[in-house]
């Protein structure tokens, strides 16, 4: 009896952990931070701790639900890839039906929180992001190499979710930050695709870098996109959203990202691609922090 009870508890805890893992909490947390940044940038004097908590909670549930539903749709493909075969659904630590239920419940709960505690525009942007991510980007990944470009839109929408949650209308300032996130995503995902190209090819994904045998074209395009980030990082200052401090920080971070991507263009290899990827991971949170702090102060 005791042994059976302990086994049941262990199985239950394992299912809970698998369900939480299905939400991709680290990735979802980064997206929620972008939503929170959008809220802070847009709210101004209307900022409130309750509003910040609402946008964080709502966006985390929406993002987690989107990730869970994406894994439900791609569970068979995830089984083919070394990087993803250990996820809860392909590893059978969680049943597909449970994954679908978790994804739907989280997405609906998140939309409810965003719509109930903030302006309806935040929930509308979140619903748009969900639709583009699951109904357009996900099926497109096996059909067109343009999927990464399309995927930048739902990937950049978190800042507009926070912006809309605060009740602020769409403006050049909001579109400026949105543009930065769009430009950042492409070299970020190109580096990921190069590092895991064998996995993507095995699953049959139509990723553009897979058509580039030595990686040099991918590196050059990534370099050009990073170069475009330098002037783009000035958009929040140019539109009057933030001041000179974040403008200097943005240019400095963009130049550092550019410098870390040069080796990927001139000497493509796993090492140089990983350097660009790491730089992309560092770039975004530091830039968003600079924008938020400059706006708050």
The backbone torsions φ and ψ at residue 158, rounded to the nearest 5 degrees and listed phi first, read -50, -40
Report yes or no on 201 lying in a domain: yes
Report yes or no on 241 lying in a domain: yes
Same domain (yes/no): 128, 177: no
Q: What is the pLDDT of residue 14?
A: 72
Q: What is the pLDDT of residue 11?
A: 58
Tell me the two tokens of residue 168: 């602020």
Contact 27, 71 (CB under 8 A): no
At 195-251, the pLDDT tens digits run: 999 999 998 998 888 888 899 999 999 999 999 999 999 999 999 999 999 999 999
Q: What is the pLDDT of residue 112?
A: 97
Per-residue pLDDT for 1 more than 60?
A: no
Alpha-carbon distances, residue 144 vs 128, 148, 225 (angstroms): 21, 9, 20
Q: CA-CA distance, 45 to 8, in Å (whole number)?
A: 51
What's the average model confidence in pLDDT over 13-30? 89
Structural domain count of the chain: 2
Residue 169 makes CB contacts below 8 A (sequence gap 6+) with none
Report helix angle 2-22 to 49-73, nearest 10.
Answer: 100
Q: DSSP states of 154-200 as a string?
A: HHHHHHHHHHHHTTPPP-HHHHHHHHHHHHHHHHHHHHHHHHTHHHH
Same domain (yes/no): 77, 129: yes
At 59-77, the pLDDT tens digits run: 999 999 999 999 999 999 9
Query: Residue 86's domain is classified under what CATH number?
Result: 1.10.357.140
At 150-205, the pLDDT tens digits run: 999 999 999 999 999 999 999 999 999 999 999 999 999 999 999 999 999 998 99
- Within the chain, residue ranges assigned H as helices are 2-22, 25-43, 49-73, 75-78, 96-117, 120-131, 138-140, 147-165, 172-195, 197-203, 216-232, 235-238, 244-266, 270-296
Same domain (yes/no): 65, 38: yes
Report yes or no on 6 lying in a domain: no
Same domain (yes/no): 188, 263: yes
Q: DSSP states of 189-226 as a string?
A: HHHHHHHTHHHHHHHT---GGGG-TTSHHHHHHHHHHH
At 31-58, the pLDDT tens digits run: 999 999 999 999 988 899 999 999 999 9
Report yes or no on 137 lying in a domain: yes
Taking CA 61 as the corner, what is the angle to CA 58 and CA 63, rounded to the nearest 5 degrees? 105
Same domain (yes/no): 158, 271: no
Alpha-carbon distances, residue 133 vs 70, 285, 287 (angstroms): 8, 22, 24
Q: What is the pLDDT of residue 15?
A: 79
Tell me the two tokens of residue 205: 């994904």
Confidence band for 124, pLDDT divided at 50, 70 and 90: very high
Same domain (yes/no): 200, 163: no
Same domain (yes/no): 48, 161: yes
* 136: containing domain: 11-142+153-167
Same domain (yes/no): 187, 247: yes
Residue 113 makes CB contacts below 8 A (sequence gap 6+) with 54, 57, 58, 61
Report yes or no on 24 lying in a domain: yes
| Chosen domain end from 167, 200, 230 | 167
Report yes or no on 257 lying in a domain: yes
Q: What is the pLDDT of residue 9?
A: 58
Same domain (yes/no): 214, 91: no
Same domain (yes/no): 178, 163: no
Contact 137, 189 (CB under 8 A): no
| Chosen domain end from 133, 167, 201 | 167
Q: Which of 7, 66, 8, 9 is nearest to 35 (CA)?
A: 66
Which pTM does this prediction carry? Answer: 0.92
Q: What is the pLDDT of residue 268?
A: 94
At 103-119, the pLDDT tens digits run: 999 999 999 999 999 99
Residue 204 makes CB contacts below 8 A (sequence gap 6+) with 77, 142
Report yes or no on 148 lying in a domain: no
Q: What is the pLDDT of residue 2?
A: 57
Same domain (yes/no): 22, 158: yes
Same domain (yes/no): 81, 57: yes
Report yes or no on 147 lying in a domain: no
Q: What is the pLDDT of residue 136?
A: 96
Contact 246, 291 (CB under 8 A): yes
Q: Please give the mean pLDDT across all residues of the chain.
A: 93
Q: CA-CA distance, 68 to 81, in Å (whole number)?
A: 17
């Amino acid at each position: 009896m005791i042994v059976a009870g302990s086994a049941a508890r262990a199985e239950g805890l394992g299912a809970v952990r698998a369900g939480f893992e299905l939400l991709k909490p680290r990735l979802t947390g980064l997206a929620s931070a972008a939503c929170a940044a959008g809220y802070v940038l847009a709210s101004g004097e209307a900022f409130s701790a309750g509003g910040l908590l609402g946008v964080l909670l709502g966006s985390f549930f929406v993002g987690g639900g989107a990730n869970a539903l994406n894994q439900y749709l791609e569970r068979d493909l995830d089984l083919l890839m070394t990087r993803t075969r250990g996820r809860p659904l392909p590893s059978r630590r969680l049943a597909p039906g449970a994954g679908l239920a978790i994804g739907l419940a989280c997405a609906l709960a998140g939309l409810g929180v965003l719509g109930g505690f903030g302006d309806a525009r935040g929930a509308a942007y979140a619903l748009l992001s969900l639709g583009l991510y699951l109904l357009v980007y996900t099926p497109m990944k096996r059909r067109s190499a343009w999927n990464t470009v399309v995927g930048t839109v739902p990937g950049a929408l978190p800042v507009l979710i926070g912006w809309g949650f605060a009740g602020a209308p769409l403006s050049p300032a909001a579109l400026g930050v949105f543009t930065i996130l769009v430009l950042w995503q492409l070299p970020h995902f190109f580096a990921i695709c190069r590092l895991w190209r064998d996995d993507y090819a095995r699953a049959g994904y139509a990723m553009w870098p897979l058509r580039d045998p030595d990686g040099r074209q991918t590196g050059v395009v990534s370099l050009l996109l990073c170069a475009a980030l330098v002037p783009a990082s000035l958009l929040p200052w140019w539109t009057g959203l933030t001041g000179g401090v974040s403008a200097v920080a943005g240019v400095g971070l963009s130049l550092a990202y550019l410098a870390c991507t040069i080796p990927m263009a001139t000497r493509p290899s796993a090492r140089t691609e990983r350097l660009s990827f790491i730089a992309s991971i560092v770039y975004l949170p530091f830039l968003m922090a600079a924008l938020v702090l400059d706006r708050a102060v």
